[in-house]
Amino acid sequence: MAPFPNPHFLKIFESPEFLHRIKVDRFCFRSLPEFRQGLGWKEADFTKLSSSYLKIPATQNSVSKYSTVVFYGAVDPRCIPVAMMLCCLRRGQRTFLVTEGIRFQHPRWRSMVFSLLLNHSGLEILAIGDRSEVDFRQAGLTKPTYRKFGFFENYPPDVMTTPGPEDTCRILSVGRLIERKNFLSIINSLQRIAAQSTQRIVYSICGDGDQRAMFESAIEKLPNHVEVNLLGNCNSQQLDQCFRNADLFAMPSTYDGWGVVLNQAVHYRLPIIVSGGVRAAKDHLVEDGFNGYIYNTKAELDDYLLKLTQNRQLRKELSVNSQEIADAWQIDTVARSLASVMLGEEPQRESRFAPLGRL
């Protein structure tokens, strides 16, 4: 059950490894937002429920027959899904909440009401991203069971990349050209380290946004051996090619509750430089010094960029290490474990990187 059809949430439940053990029906409360339609997201196979409080009895009847109900992203105490979760818990249905971290700031009553309603030992939370479970416990939800989780996508099984010139490092970032994505910090860092290396660097960004003019201005100040390409919005085929043509992936967001482009970078075995503000990184898709580096300061960013752009052998070692993490987060592998969890079994976790361990 989701606010609207969200493939990042649904992919795991569509895996044959999940469906051969568990039957799934899908419900949502509203149509796909317009800004998501441009990504090619679809609304197929969903039953739309009313979001009116006046129709709660009818809405509850729609889900009362299920032994297990999974809610995605229902964290606002004013919303119908929270009331539905409470009813499911009272009826004794297994109730899962799949969600990123929460940040209740103002007003304080939202956190208090949320805790009062859902601090229940029967609630099982699949916590998406680093420190997500900490957010919920700090909001007062101390009784639920927590497991490490994330978002998942299907990618081509072939992960062959195209080698670049020996004297060039090709860096890739993917996302909107907005302040939170913070791609300007990479451009500024490349300008700072340029004097320390004559290595040719090509930085490509897939995405567009209202900061494009600022990017173009910053690019003009770069030395000749540093090239930045603003590729605009790319479809899935173009993105696939960009990942195959990269030597290094950079994700400098000041905050991302997850960020599925990091899944894609791991899938293609790219060495990674990622901000500590990206919750898909630490304890999930990136182990610092193993398949990439997690930075928290401008000096650390400069150091890691300089180190990785100059050292081809280091990039190769980090790429090889990514195999284990990519395998642990492969969608069918996780789907098998998730089916076990929903059937009351403890999943087999063959890697220390695997999701669904208790937190």
> How many folded domains does the chain comprise?
2
Q: Output the pLDDT for position 29.
A: 80
Position 48 confidence tier, pLDDT thresholds 50, 70, 90: confident
Position 97 confidence tier, pLDDT thresholds 50, 70, 90: very high
Instruction: Decide if pLDDT at 252 tops 80.
Output: yes
Tokens 């890739």: give the residue: 172
The verdict on 187 and 315 lying in the same domain is yes
DSSP string of 46-73?
A: -EEPP--GGGHHHHHHHHTT-SEEEEES
Q: Output the pLDDT for position 215.
A: 94
Is 161 a member of any domain?
no
DSSP string of 236-266?
A: HHHHHHHHHT-SEEEE--S-BS--HHHHHHH
- d(C-alpha 143, C-alpha 98), whole Å: 16
Looking at the DSSP assignment, which residues form a beta bridge with residue 126?
A: 98, 147
User: Mean pLDDT across the chain, nearest whole number?
Assistant: 89
Q: Output the pLDDT for position 349.
A: 74
Is 290 a member of any domain?
yes
The answer to whether 98 and 124 are in contact (CB under 8 A) is no
Instruction: Decide if pLDDT at 303 tops 90.
Output: yes
Give pLDDT tens digits for 102-116.
876 655 666 677 788
The verdict on 198 and 130 lying in the same domain is no
Tokens 């409470």: give the residue: 86
Average pLDDT over residues 249-259: 95
- d(C-alpha 333, C-alpha 280), whole Å: 18
The verdict on 178 and 319 lying in the same domain is yes
The verdict on 19 and 43 lying in the same domain is yes
Identity of the residue numbered 352: R
Is 173 a member of any domain?
yes
Identity of the residue numbered 93: Q
Is 70 a member of any domain?
yes
Q: What is the domain range of residue 336?
A: 7-152+331-342
Is 261 a member of any domain?
yes
Q: Output the pLDDT for position 266.
A: 96
Dihedral Cα 307, 311, 315, 317, nearest 10 deg: -110
Q: Output the pLDDT for position 2.
A: 83
What share of the chain in percent tops pLDDT 70? 92
The verdict on 199 and 227 lying in the same domain is yes
The verdict on 35 and 142 lying in the same domain is yes
The verdict on 314 and 175 lying in the same domain is yes
The answer to whether 208 and 232 are in contact (CB under 8 A) is yes
The verdict on 36 and 113 lying in the same domain is yes
The answer to whether 315 and 256 are in contact (CB under 8 A) is no
Q: pTM (2 decimals)?
A: 0.90
Q: Output the pLDDT for position 358.
A: 92
The verdict on 243 and 289 lying in the same domain is yes
Minimum mean pLDDT among 31-35, 71-75, 113-117, 303-307: which range? 31-35
CATH at residue 323:
3.40.50.2000
The verdict on 296 and 179 lying in the same domain is yes
